[in-house]
């Protein structure tokens, strides 16, 4: 436990020290490149805004991610159990995922003018559901056919097969994809907040810092986003160890 907490913390501290040394060695002023020592004053000065806007970003990201989990699992089930649907949907999903979401943001903003919560949640969902759908699909499509045949001969439906056999088997892949989707969901949320600003979320705070050339504030926002992403990542890690801990290899 100490190693699992201490090693990541040590890595973060080393990263911050190297960052500080880089700025110091190059003699960069804080209007050109902020250093870690510049960030705490920015956090303290705008502490209320960080709390308010951080919550705005977090809840929209979590809702978008939750939507991505539901839709991703459903799509993964459809593609995993049907080869025809897999061959039909994969090109569409790959093509959709290849479109830069920064180009989709203005379209969504124009389609749902003034509905800022919906816009942001939609982008977070659209950018994060793909890895989940693919991981579930692969997990189900590689399920041993003998299990399906036996359960079907006993009268089990596809839903029962998924719940009893396929879901436990796909959990490691699912949580692996969910870890990726967590970071993607934050990217989607902040894309909407920055590209199509509506004065809410950490993206709005970043935009304010950019307008005023306030580098410490801009980097403080980036650090806050990283902290939220790490926190949500470890929530997923906790859930993974709770529901799929059996898949973790013991250390020697």
pLDDT tens readout for residues 72-112:
988 988 888 788 888 888 888 888 888 888 888 888 888 88
Assign a CATH topology to domain 65-243.
MetI-like fold (1.10.3720)
What's the alpha-carbon Rg for the chain, to the nearest Å?
A: 22
Q: Give the pTM.
A: 0.84
Q: Kindly give, in sequence order, each residue whose CB lies less than 8 Å from that of residue 47, ignoring residues fewer than 6 positions away.
A: none
The pLDDT of residue 238 is above 60: yes
- Pick 163 or 129 by higher pLDDT: 129
Percent of the chain exceeding pLDDT 90 equals 25
Q: How far apart are CA 250 and CA 232, in angstroms?
A: 25
Determine the pLDDT at residue 248. 63
Q: How far apart are CA 118 and CA 79, in angstroms?
A: 27
Determine the pLDDT at residue 163. 73
Could you tell me the residue ranges of all domains in the chain? Answer: 65-243
Nearest to 205 by CA among 183, 225, 185: 225
Determine the pLDDT at residue 52. 92
The pLDDT of residue 62 is above 90: yes
How would you write 131-194 as a 3-class SS string?
HHHHHHHHHHHCCCHHHHHHHHHCCCCHHHHHHHHHHHHHHHHHHHHHHHHHHHHHHHHHHHHH
pLDDT tens readout for residues 174-221:
888 899 999 999 988 988 888 776 778 898 889 888 888 888 899 999
């Amino acid at each position: 436990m100490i190693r699992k907490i201490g090693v990541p913390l040590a890595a973060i501290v080393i990263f911050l020290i190297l960052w500080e040394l880089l700025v110091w060695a190059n003699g960069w002023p804080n209007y050109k490149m902020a250093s870690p020592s510049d960030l705490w004053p920015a956090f303290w000065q705008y502490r209320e805004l960080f709390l308010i806007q951080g919550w705005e970003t977090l809840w929209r990201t979590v809702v978008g991610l939750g939507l991505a989990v539901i839709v991703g699992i459903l799509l993964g089930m459809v593609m995993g159990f049907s080869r025809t649907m897999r061959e039909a949907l994969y090109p569409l999903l790959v093509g959709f995922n290849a479109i830069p979401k920064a180009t989709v943001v203005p379209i969504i903003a124009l389609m749902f003018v003034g509905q800022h919560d919906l816009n942001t949640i939609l982008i977070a969902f659209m950018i994060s559901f793909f890895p989940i759908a693919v991981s579930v699909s692969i997990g189900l499509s590689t399920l041993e056919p003998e299990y399906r045949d036996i359960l079907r001969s006993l009268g089990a439906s596809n839903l029962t097969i998924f719940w009893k056999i396929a879901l436990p088997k796909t959990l490691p892949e699912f949580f692996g994809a969910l870890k990726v989707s967590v970071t993607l969901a934050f990217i989607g949320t902040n894309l909407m907040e920055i590209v199509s600003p509506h004065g809410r979320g950490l993206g709005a705070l970043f935009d304010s810092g950019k307008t005023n050339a306030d580098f410490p504030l801009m980097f403080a926002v980036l650090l806050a986003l990283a902290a939220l992403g790490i926190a949500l990542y470890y929530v997923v890690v906790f859930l993974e160890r709770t529901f799929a801990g059996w898949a973790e290899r013991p250390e020697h």
